[in-house]
Amino acid sequence: MLMLVCMPLNAASFHVQDQHGNSLAHAVIELAGSKQDTTKSQLPIAVMDQVDKQFAPQVLLIQQGQSVQFPNSDDIRHHVYSFSRAKPFELKLYAGKPKAPIPFEHAGVAVLGCNIHDSMVGYIYIAQSEHAVMTDLNGDAQLDADPDQSVYVWHSLSVNGAESRKKVTLSTLNSKEGAYILILNTAEPKVRDTFGDKFQLQ
């Protein structure tokens, strides 16, 4: 009898850093060419809060098709919106919790802002694959991947803009202490007068 066995991917360690060797926290690594298992149950609703005039978390990782709730935990009103290609939307001036979460049907990156508080900028990375992780404060993460596969790496400070990502093949990477080293060129964060300034550089 012939039996077909699906071999599981192996857990690989990654370290993401910029061109100067500085570790990049809150970078996203996604396995390329892998899609979600559509047979799984409905994805849970994710939360992007607003606390002390900041998005919390500043970077949120979700899967394509997942919905996000945008509660306002401040005692002032916010006006949340995005005009990113992945998901343009608007939640007009409100306090508390919106009536319904926002679905994110397309993969990509949504850059968020507040029409009232220009310093508020947040990011939602919508992964097409269920194999996607975010780096910790040291720039480290683990992801199931094999050496012949490729990954996407993303960070909000990429020199190519906050909606861009870089694709690399694991077999071409250097490693250190058993971890693949992913290098992403970044730009220094700048103070923006308006939310729209974030998009003028892209």
**For the domain that residue 74 is a member of, what is the CATH number?**
2.60.40.420
Q: What is the number of structural domains in the chain?
A: 2
List per-residue pLDDT tens for the chain, 202 residues long: 444 334 456 789 999 999 999 999 999 999 998 776 655 568 999 999 999 999 999 999 999 999 999 999 999 999 999 999 999 999 999 999 998 999 999 999 999 999 999 899 999 999 999 999 999 999 999 999 999 999 999 999 999 999 999 999 999 999 888 999 999 999 987 666 554 444 433 3
93 and 148 assigned to the same domain: no
**pTM for this entry:** 0.88
Domain boundary among 128, 149, 183: 128
Domain boundary among 102, 128, 154: 128
For residues 91 and 72, give the distance between their C-alpha atoms in angstroms, rounded to a whole number.
11
123 and 60 assigned to the same domain: yes
Domain extent, residue 110, equals 44-128
119 and 58 assigned to the same domain: yes
CB neighbours of residue 45 within 10 Å: 14
Distances in Å between the Cα of 189 and the Cα atoms of 34, 36, 88, 192, 201 are 32, 33, 24, 9, 12
Domain boundary among 81, 108, 128: 128
122 and 184 assigned to the same domain: no
Instruction: Pull the structure tokens for residue 31.
Output: 């396995």
Region of 73 please: left (phi>0), alpha (psi -120 to 50) or beta.
Answer: alpha
Helix (H, G, I), strand (E, B) or coil at 188: coil
106 and 180 assigned to the same domain: no
140 and 201 assigned to the same domain: yes
